Amino acid sequence: MINSAFHHTSKKQVLKITFVLFACSLFFSCNDYFKNDYKDNSPTSGHLNVYYDEGLYLHLKNQAYTFESQYPSAHIHLKPSNDNDAVEALYKDSCEAIVISRLLNDKEKKAFASKRFDPKYSCLAYSGIAFVINKNAAIKTISLNEVLQLAGSENAEVIDTNGNTIKLQLLLDKNNSSLAHYVLDSVLKGKKLSANVRVLNSTLEALNYIENNNNTIACIDFAWLSDKDDSITKHYSQRLKLLGIRKGEGKITFPSQSSFKLGDYPLTRKVYCYRKTGDFTLAKGFETYLAGPKGQMTFLKQGLLPFKQQERMVEVKFESLNTQ
């Protein structure tokens, strides 16, 4: 009788211990899930860090807001950066996706390959390098040769609208930005910047500077001023003006969706989204959204040229006119 009671009690204890162990394992497994929420997600849910080139701030901010509005369980955390730091963040696992204005170079590809990573990417849109000056300045256009002189020479001169020769200072947004690298690599071909070039801490700081100075040209990403409905564009359009680029035979082109489309603007750049996760992740979901119809339409409405444009089918019927 005593043995039977003892055996029954032991069974209860075993059941209690088993239940406690199960509850603990469930608790810790749930905690692990939420701790790894940046990685354990779906294309429309979870958390995602996105490092991006600062020049694309206005566009990425709007894209992320719209994406989160459509998918409330998705949380996009935008991290302003420059293209080099964004690539490094992707390499060091600080994020799962980046948006930059260039392709990975050979050195970066080899670095990813050494970790057995092969980042996938989509081309999203076309933007360009824009030159902006105070609206009261007596200059409306600039040639690529003059840009080269401003960037590489301390005694560079530019001809204004009245035919006078004037000295101007070139202003870059910030150190190690994609624009700074573009000027060094594509304009100066690896040569050093002259003492005539000034570098600030952000694009907005550069725009504020030339708002109060007539003798300075700021080099910025056109994406900052492409959206005519944005408050920043409305503010600066009353105080600043875009400079047209003079090409041979007196042809002048401005950064715009049309000049990007026709290939007329000589300083056009593409915008890319890179990720290094699988297909069933939030990084893939956000990339697909940006490269898909809704994201592409948003780029179009905000003044950039989307990489993919929807075809418009127009049916034309020829019918004879009855003139009687």
Q: Considering the domain boundaries, does residue 14 fall inside one?
A: no
Whole domain around residue 166: which residue ranges? 127-269
156 in a structural domain: yes
116 DSSP 8-state letter: T
- Residues 158-185: what's their mean pLDDT? 83
Does some domain include residue 3? no
**Chain centroid to CA 95:** 15
Of 244, 238, 242, 240, which Cα lies nearest the Cα of 222?
A: 242
Question: What local confidence, expressed as pLDDT, does residue 11 receive?
Answer: 53
Is residue 239 within 8 A of residue 135, CB to CB? The reply is yes
Q: What is the mean pLDDT of residues 88-108?
A: 95
Task: Name every residue whose Cβ is closer than 8 Å to that of residue 309 and which is 6 or more positions away in sequence.
Answer: 296, 300
Judgement on whether residues 222 and 302 belong to the same structural domain of the protein: no
Phi then psi for residue 218, to 5 deg, are: -100, 135
> What is the structure's pLDDT at 178?
81
In angstroms, rounded to a whole number, what is the distance separating the alpha carbons of residues 198 and 297? Answer: 36
In this structure, the strands spanning 141-143 and 120-134 are unpaired
Domain tally for the chain?
2
* Closest by CA position to 168, among listed 181, 159, 180: 159
Q: 26-35, 100-109, 205-214, 311-320: which has the minimum mean pLDDT? A: 26-35
- Predicted TM-score (pTM) of the model is 0.81
Rounded CA-CA distance 143/122 in Å is 32
Measured distance CA(64)–CA(286) in Å, rounded: 8
- For 223-252, write each residue's pLDDT tens digit: 999 999 999 999 999 999 999 999 877 789
288-305 pLDDT, tens digit each: 999 999 999 999 999 999
* Cα distance between residue 104 and residue 106, in whole Å: 7
Q: Are residues 151 and 244 in the same domain?
A: yes
Q: Tell whether 174 and 230 lie within a shared domain.
A: yes
- pLDDT band (50, 70, 90) for residue 20: very low
15 is a domain residue:
no
Instruction: Kindly give the pairing relationship between strand 240-242 and strand 197-199.
Output: unpaired
Q: Are 273 and 51 in contact (CB under 8 A)?
A: no
CATH assignment of the domain containing 143: 3.40.190.10
Let me know whether 163 and 119 are in one domain.
no
pLDDT of 10 over the 70 cut: no
> Do residues 110 and 174 both lie within one domain?
no
Provide the 3-class DSSP secondary structure of residue 94. coil
Whether residues 137 and 160 share a domain: the answer is: yes
Answer whether 82's CB lies under 8 Å from 73's CB: no
Using DSSP, state whether 184 is helix, strand or coil: helix
Reading the block at residue 185, the tokens are 């690599």
Task: Note whether 178 and 288 are same-domain residues.
Answer: no
In a domain, 311, yes or no: no
